[in-house]
Amino acid sequence: MKKTKIVDLVESVDPYVRETRGYLHQYPEISAEEFQTAEWLKKEISQYGLVVEQASKTGFIATLDTGKPGKTVGLRADIDALPVNESEINMVGPKKWLSKNPGAAHMCGHDGHMAILLGSMRVLDRLKDQLTGKIIFIFEEGEEISSGIDEMVSLLQTKQLDAVYGTHVTSFMPTGKVSVDPGPVMAGGILVEFDVFGKSGHGSRPDLSINPLFATAQALAGLTSAWSNQIDVSKTVTLGLTQIHGGNVNNIIPDSVFVGGSVRCFDAAEGEKAVNVIKEVVTHTARAHLCEAKFRETTRIVSEPVINDAELSNLAKKAIASSMPDSLIEDQQWYASESFTKYAQVAPILFAFCGVGNEGLGTTAEHHNEHFDLDEDGLKAGVNATVNFAVDFLLNEE
């Protein structure tokens, strides 16, 4: 198949992709509550006559069957927004699109992911007579809280997929750049939650109480040296403690203090080791202050690292190089975590990063930030990379 034809088709759907992203950005819905989003997506998909199957409360798949034997590839987008209020400005000025739903906003780019997948669907539908096999378009519920991934995986395990491909827009990469590196590309996530228990009392007589605040403070300070001395320096592991809650009155020593956060790693074994370090330091430091530390059952691995298949990576790199010269960049890793890793239970996976960062337009804010925005010029590269990968995978073209 001529690459120029694909480029022309991608160009022709670009206005639709931008319009779609704009609409979805204005009407976000938080994880596991994407009912109107799902219905709108299905209405858009209905024009292609695809078979739609429900996977979870709002997650679903739509299958394009070419009617010819061949491989089956899954193309995935997540559909949920974050429970935050959006700022009207990005890093330099007013945003083009704003959420109209208070308390919900697409501050991670999932509106872009849906737009890319719908644009890719439109192109692939026009090419279906020249393709073989099947394409399963995956619309995943609640990626931010992993509410729909297990049910989606269960459904897909009945479909005999040969590969699953996904896209994530990235504000840390320049607009139009695409990365499909092999190996670990997104970190595994480990939730950390624990309580330090002491003995409550009046603030005027700390000697009659057991203050968990001091024990907690010493434990957290001790973690800094333990981290630098016990974690393998060749396997970066990040410790992001994000909340401490203890007491609410100035003259009363509380009974307990709660600490929460997460560990991120690209090596699962080193991540587990890091959690053991946390437990040892916190437990023994608390005991030294006559307190007791208890880790909650929620302290566990939430997601494994996303590890791209080497063969799929090589195929995608060739597809990008042939269709978008100078767009491919390498050595990109992201310390955020993603439910996409679970698709490896279904088939080999490939997760592409698509740059939407533009300093001039102010679209370089971190993800999950109220100022987050994306450069819509980058969506075209996402559609191009998705379509070319799907075509080359199904036809074994290079």
List pLDDT tens digits, range 226-243.
Answer: 999 999 999 989 999 999
Token pair 């979870």 is at which residue?
A: 56
Q: For position 325, what pLDDT does the model report? A: 86
Provide the annotated binding site. 108, 110, 144, 168, 368
List pLDDT tens digits, range 336-372.
Answer: 999 999 999 999 999 999 999 999 999 999 999 999 9
pLDDT tier at 397 (50, 70, 90 boundaries)? low
CA distance 110 to 96: 16
Average pLDDT in the 247-274 region? 95
CATH class held by domain 188-302 = alpha beta
CATH second-level architecture of 3-187+305-395?
Answer: 3-Layer(aba) Sandwich (3.40)
Share of the chain above pLDDT 70, in %: 99
Buried b (16+ CB within 10 A) or exposed e, 60-74: bbbebebeeeebbbb
List pLDDT tens digits, range 177-205.
Answer: 999 999 999 999 999 999 999 999 999 99
List pLDDT tens digits, range 304-348.
Answer: 999 999 999 999 999 999 899 899 999 999 999 999 999 999 999
Please report, for the chain, the start and end positions of each structural domain, with discontinuous segments joined by +: 3-187+305-395, 188-302
Strand partners, 74: 136, 164
pLDDT tier at 2 (50, 70, 90 boundaries)? confident
pLDDT tier at 87 (50, 70, 90 boundaries)? very high
Provide the annotated binding site for Mn(2+). 108, 110, 144, 168, 368
